[in-house]
Structure 1
Amino acid sequence: MTLERPARMFDRDREWKALSAFIDDPRPGATLGVVSGRRRQGKTFLLRSLCEAAGGFYFPADEGIDRESLNKLGALLGQFTGAPGPIAFEGWHQAVDALLGLSHDRRIPVVIDEFPYLVRANPSLPSIIQNALAPLRPERDNSRVGLLLCGSAMSFMGRLLSGNAPLRGRAGLELMVPTLDHRLAAEFWGVDDPVTALMTHAVVGGTPAYRSDFARDDKPAGPDDFDAWVIRTVLSPASPLFREARYLLADEPDLHDSSLYHSVLAAIASGNAQRGAIASYMGRKTGDLAHPLTVLEDCGLIVREPDVFKDNRTTFRIAEPLVTFYHAVMRPIWSDLEFTDDTARLWRRSRARFVSGVLGPHFEQVCRFWTRHMAPPELFGDYPNVAGAGTVNDPTNRTSHEVDVVVFGLDDDNRRPLLAIGEVKWGETMGLGHVERLRRIRALLVAQKRLGAETARLACYSGTGFAPELVEAAAREPEIVLVGLTDLYRAGPT
């Protein structure tokens, strides 16, 4: 039976159903689940709500030594069980067994939030939990507890169940709480205008807390208010959003040399998306970047995206829009932002960088996401299986062409036929010239004998609009697909 979802919870239907099913597990014995996600995505609200709905126990860990954490756990357990006072624990073996003993007749959730804090003080804690959940152990077999370990340190949480980690194979749930996509973010912020919604998402992404806690429900009233909103929120030293991008790196324990990682992110935000370009920007050798790029990827701060046409070519993208905004717009003028009252002047000087370095690339990524997950299947002739970006060689002219959106399907023989190629423009009205460019690229793909290239559709994605002659051509020729901002925010498949 699905637990009743709190009325004030926005979205998170998938996550709530997964947690409800975990708690509804009828099998005997304690179970283990892992919940992860970047800070401020609503994990704590989600898990506290679960404990309230199912009568469970919630323990918020703090940074501190073992003894302090055990004392706090004992005090909260004493209150939860109705004991006359705090419960004293000699160590974590005893404490974990006490948690498993909280229920023997019905499944209840027992949540340890910010689990990485406890492991930082006692690295043996995962092994202690592994042993507590060992098969044929009475404390485990007689328990009906669903133990949920939660954390925001993505690199740590990613390793918790991987490789030879002690808890590998023990968990019956591994749930990641993501940021809201562009459509859900617009609904959550209450922004109806697609232009305003996309620009807002390019700055703060889909992190729920940025609206309610950080911006105090201050939202841009429309396109004409967007600049003023940026100035009074993200660029204001008095706003929590002002330093948030810096704090996101500090949240990750694996990022020891913050200046190195900030430089890598700055390089990517400046348009240096390939490993060699990043190395050149930083004045480093390409081989020196293997470790920092891997660490940033493990932390969920960057995403490695392969070129869909070239197996040996990879680009890197910053996963958190606010981090991109910080490095592309704020970091170059940081000292001025901290010590001037004329923030409007600084924003006017920086707005071109925002459009080219933040808004344009973000719009491309949203278009690819929408194509893969939200576009109606008839738009491209089949369900998109992959939507990425790629580079097409033009041997005759000794050049290459960047393709913003490349759409592949999946046929019955597990092959990936090409469904469409597309171009994305944020601030440019698209016309027949853009379609002709796509036709030339398609001809190159036909010459390369790419499966499905002959019938691949030509997609134009615009944040500004389409010239009348292109609209007329699209009405006559089904191979031309036009996608505007309204389409990206129209309800459809998810």
Structure 2
Amino acid sequence: MGELARPPEMFDREREWRDLGAFVTDPSPGATLGVVSGRRRQGKTFLLRALCRATGGFYFAADEATDRESLNRLGAVLAEHLSAPAPFAFDSWHPAIDALLRLGRERRLPVVIDEFPYLARANPQLPSVIQNALAPLRAERDDSRTSLLLCGSAMSFMGRLLSGNAPLRGRAGLELVVPTLDHQLAAEFWGVDDPVTALKVNAIVGGTPAYRREFARDDTPADADDFDPWVLRTVLSPASPLFREARYLLADEPDLHDIGLYHSVLAAIAAGNAHRGGIASYLGRRSGDLAHPLTVLEDCGLVTREPDAFKDNRTSFRIAEPLVAFYHAIMRPIWSDLEHTRDAGRLWQRSRKRFVSNVLGPHFERICRHWTRHLAPADLFGDHPNRVASGTVSDPGHRTSHEVDVVVFGLDGDNRRPLLAIGEVKWGDAMGVSHLERLRRIRGLLTAQGRLGAEQARLACYSAAGFSDELIQMAERDHSVVLVGIDDLYRRD
């Protein structure tokens, strides 16, 4: 079978569709197992339903239900798929999984179990049942060409499914994570041409496809002047599904037992406390008490842990989902007012400063780091960036330290990581020579520390508000000065 034709209504997802297509058309004998995961609302179900439609495969969406009810539903859905006169009766998952394997007796066929964590929560033995069903030299497995795909959005659970001593470790031939759309694709998907407006929209809803189609009902900002009205129509409107979505995202995670604690941790990060000590101080707890909740939030994909570029013992925590960051920085502190006010515009105007400092600014920094690592022109920093992070540089002479928003490392032939560039990011300020001089001082400190590549490291200024004429002229004369405007972040070469 050749490459599967991608549905014309599918936006992007070329790589994911190609990988799924290759998996379900693999001519090798025997049943195979694949795992598909990703945060909620990313289009996993759309992908897998389209895959089954294109191949004649079988799709089953699990519900939160008892084990018995789920087996009954599977029997009914399978009977309907096969046009059987009556539902199949399964007394356990062993015959149920074997029945799914028999679907692929004649040809390679995808069989999808969506929301698999619901089934495994009701019956924790289910992964072991699937392991035994797919055991080598077992006739039901060897005589089948079923491509069994387990899908789920509970990131902590799905991450453990194939790890460590888990029953299914070593059984899967595909492990596909469906990511959010990056800022360039998100702007195209939302149909926002103006880069400033696109980034402001992205700082609220990120790259989650469902937030435009299902949640906002294709309501997008018409132009830059429509951004504030759009915020009021969608995310700040109690009638919009986006209004409560961030709260539901936490409630949907099975590993978050003390929801109040996790909301408080996220609120601390959203308030600008990126390090464990600051989060602990915000919560009035000891730093050591936060190890478990931070790890759980990280496993769920709600928080990312970012090591400092220059200090091995220093770590920053960021909220991974923009809507969750927006909720905790803007909405949660005024939740009751938002639910009952007749003038949400007044509340939004009072929140604008907090939006810029706690949401937009940090999000812009993350976009700049992502662009530098994955989307920047190949020769912009003299070599291909191998790692991009933020970092802290000590300044003993001034008895202070400097935060560096963008730190770019390469990778040489001896597996060393030379410093390629350091950069500063500003959302609302036009950058000038003073910003460049600050970077020069930091480069001098790194050179004095003996940091590999520091002396030749480029100095990068990232700004959404532009650059002074003097700085532009200096960059034209000096190739080590790199200026990145917001238009550059959305330009596709």
**TM-score when normalising by structure 1:** 0.99
Code of the aligned partner of 1:484 = G
Residue in 1 that maps onto 2:30 = 29
Identity in percent: 76
Counterparts of 1:256-267 in structure 2, within 5 Å, are 256-267=257-268
In structure 2, how many angstroms separate the alpha carbons of the residues matched to 1:470 and 1:103?
A: 65
Report Cα offsets for 1:26-53 as digits up to 9, x if no partner.
1100000000011110000000000011
Determine if the alignment matches structure 1 residue 276 to structure 2 residue 283.
no
**Does the residue aligned with 1:172 lie in a helix, a strand or coil?**
strand
| Correspondence for 1:50 | 51
Structure 1: gaps (5+ residues) = none
The 2-side partners of 1:23 and 1:262 are apart by: 40
For 1:12, the equivalent position in structure 2 comes to 13
Tell me how far apart the structure 2 counterparts of residues 383 and 221 of structure 1 sit (CA, whole Å): 37
Q: Deviations over 1:325-353 (max 9, x none)?
A: 00000011000000111100000100100
**Deviations 1:382-441 (CA, angstroms, capped at 9, x unpaired):** 100011100001111111000000000111110111110000000000011111110000
Partner of 2:183: 182
Q: Is residue 341 from structure 1 mapped to residue 352 from structure 2 by the alignment?
A: no
Match in the other structure for 2:229: 228
- Partners of 2:293 and 2:384 lie apart in 1 by 36
CA distance in 1, matches of 2:60, 2:32: 17
Task: State the alpha-carbon separation in 2 of the partners of residues 363 and 27 from structure 1.
Answer: 46
Write out per-residue CA displacement over residues 122-160 of structure 1, whole angstroms, 9 at most, x where no aligned residue. 111000000000110000000000000000111100110
- SS in structure 1 at match of 2:398: coil
Q: Secondary structure at the match of 1:44?
A: helix
**Which structure 2 residues correspond to residues 102-251 of structure 1 after superposition, within 5 A?**
102-251=103-252
**Match status 1:436 vs 2:455:** no
Q: CA deviation at 1:222?
A: 1.9
Structure 2 residue identity aligned to 1:197 = A
Between the aligned partners of 2:96 and 2:105, the Cα distance in structure 1 is: 17
Displacement of 1:178 in angstroms is 0.7
Distance 2:67 2:380 in 1: 57
Equivalence map 1:401-416=2 (5 Å): 401-416=402-417
Partner of 1:86: 87
Q: Separation in 1 of the partners of 2:479 and 2:441? A: 18
CA distance in 2, matches of 1:400, 1:412: 32
3-state SS of paired residue (1:311): coil
After TM superposition, the runs of 4+ consecutive aligned structure 1 residues lying more than 3 A away are none
Instruction: Name the counterpart of 2:384.
Output: 383
Name the SS for the 1:429 alignment partner.
coil
Residue 317 of structure 1 aligns to a residue whose secondary structure is: strand
Q: After TM superposition, give the deviation of residue 2 of structure 1 in Å.
A: 1.5
Distance 1:466 1:269 in 2: 29
Could you tell me which runs of 5 or more consecutive residues in structure 2 were left unpaired when the two chains were aligned: none
C-alpha distance in 2, partners of 1:402/1:120? 44
- Letter of the structure 1 residue corresponding to residue 178 of structure 2: V
User: Distance between the aligned counterparts of 1:351 and 1:220, measured in 2?
Assistant: 17
Per-residue CA deviations over 1:69-102 (Å, capped at 9, x if unaligned) read 1111111111111211211111110000000000
* Partner in structure 2 of residue 351 of structure 1: 352
Q: Given residue 227 of structure 1, which amino acid in structure 2 is its aligned partner?
A: D
Query: Could you tell me how far 1:104 is from its partner in structure 2?
Result: 1.6
Matches of 1:281 and 1:222, distance apart in 2: 38
Specify the alignment match of 1:294 in structure 2: 295
> Distance between the aligned counterparts of 1:414 and 1:146, measured in 2?
39
Are residue 459 (structure 1) and residue 460 (structure 2) matched?
A: yes
Residue matched to 2:255: 254
Of the structure 1 ranges 258-267 and 75-84, higher mean CA displacement relative to structure 2 is found in 75-84
SS of residue in 2 equivalent to 1:146: strand
State the aligned residue count.
492
Cα distance in 1, alignment partners of residues 214 and 185 from structure 2: 18
Letter aligned with residue 471 of structure 1 = I
Q: CA deviation at 1:380?
A: 0.4
Which residue does the alignment assign to 1:100? 101
> How far apart in 1 are the matches of 2:151 and 2:430?
46
AA aligned to 1:299 is C
Q: Whole-Å Cα distance in 2 between the matches of residues 386 and 38 of structure 1? A: 24
- Structure 1 letter corresponding to 2:42: Q
What CA distance in whole angstroms lies between the structure 2 residues aligned with 1:124 and 1:328? 41
Letter matched to residue 384 of structure 1: P
Q: Is structure 2 residue 428 aligned with structure 1 residue 396?
A: no
Q: 2:35 corresponds to which letter in structure 1?
A: V
User: Could you say what secondary structure the match of 2:50 adopts?
Assistant: helix
- Secondary structure at 1:310 match in 2: coil
Cα offsets for 1:165-213 (capped at 9, x unmatched): 1101100000000110000000000000000000000000000000001
- CA distance in 2 between counterparts of 1:2 and 1:275 reads 48
CA positional deviation for 1:266:
0.2
Tell me if 1:446 matches 2:447.
yes
Q: CA deviation at 1:452?
A: 0.6
Instruction: Please give the secondary structure, in 1, of the residue aligned with 2:470.
Output: helix
Letter in 2 for 1:239: S
Partner SS state of residue 392, structure 1: strand
Q: Distance in 2 between matches of 1:365 and 1:103?
A: 45
> Structure 1 stretch 78-87 or stretch 11-20: which is displaced more?
78-87
SS at match of 2:40: coil
Counterparts of 2:105 and 2:5, CA distance in 1: 23
Alpha-carbon distance between aligned partners in 2 of 1:103 and 1:418, rounded to the nearest angstrom: 53
Instruction: Kindly provide the amino acid, as one letter, of the partner of residue 216 in structure 2.
Output: A
For 1:44 and 1:240, locate their aligned partners in 2 and report how far apart those are by CA, in whole Å. 19
Q: How far did residue 105 of structure 1 move?
A: 2.7
Q: Distance in 1 between matches of 2:237 and 2:150?
A: 36
The one-letter amino acid of 1:300's match is: G
Q: CA deviation at 1:221?
A: 1.5
